[in-house]
Amino acid sequence: MYAGTPPAMLSANGGASGPFDHDTPPEKPAGHYSRSRFERVLRAGHFAVTAELAPPDSVDPDEVYRRAAVFDGWVDAINATDGSGANVHMSAVSICALLTRAGYSPVMQMSCRDRNRIAMQGDVLGAAAMGVGCILCLTGDGVQVGDQPGAKPVFDLGSVSLLRMIRYMRDEKRFLSGRPLTKGPEVFLGAAENPFSPPYEFRPLRLKKKVEAGAQFIQTQYCFDIPLFRRFMDRVCDMGLHEKVFILVGVGALPSARTARWVRSHVPGVHIPEECVRRLEQAQNPAAEGRKLCVELMQQIKETRGVSGIHVMSPRQEQYLGEIVKESGVLGGRRPFCRGDPQLPMAQPAHHGV
Ligand X SMILES: Cc1cc2nc3c(=O)[nH]c(=O)nc-3n(C[C@H](O)[C@H](O)[C@H](O)COP(=O)(O)OP(=O)(O)OC[C@H]3O[C@@H](n4cnc5c(N)ncnc54)[C@H](O)[C@@H]3O)c2cc1C
Tell me which residues touch ligand X (CB under 6 A): 81-84, 86, 109, 111, 113, 138-141, 158-159, 191-192, 194, 197, 199, 202, 206, 219-221, 250, 268-269
Using CA atoms, how far residue 346 sits from 128, 231, 308, in Å, is 19, 37, 21
What burial class does residue 202 get, using C-beta atoms within 10 Å of its C-beta: 0-12 exposed, 13-18 middle, 19+ buried? exposed
C-beta of 192: minimal distance to ligand X in Å?
A: 4
- The smaller minimum CB distance to ligand X, of residues 140 and 349, is found at 140
Report d(CA 48, CA 298) in Å as an integer. 12
DSSP 306-329: T--EEEE--TT-GGGHHHHHHHHT
CB atoms within 10 A of CB 227: 9
- The smaller minimum CB distance to ligand X, of residues 173 and 266, is found at 266
Dihedral sign for Cα 290, 196, 117, 217, please.
Answer: positive
C-beta of 101: minimal distance to ligand X in Å?
A: 21
Preceding peptide of 199 cis, ω within 30°: yes
What are the φ and ψ backbone dihedral angles of 109, each rounded to 5 degrees? Answer: -85, 135
- The smaller minimum CB distance to ligand X, of residues 141 and 318, is found at 141
- The smaller minimum CB distance to ligand X, of residues 141 and 225, is found at 141
- The smaller minimum CB distance to ligand X, of residues 53 and 102, is found at 53
> Do 187 and 158 contact (CB within 8 A), yes or no?
no
C-beta of 79: minimal distance to ligand X in Å?
A: 7
C-beta of 111: minimal distance to ligand X in Å?
A: 4
C-beta of 140: minimal distance to ligand X in Å?
A: 3
C-beta of 83: minimal distance to ligand X in Å?
A: 5
What are the φ and ψ backbone dihedral angles of 143, each rounded to 5 degrees? Answer: -60, -25
> Do 31 and 56 contact (CB within 8 A), yes or no?
no
- The smaller minimum CB distance to ligand X, of residues 202 and 262, is found at 202
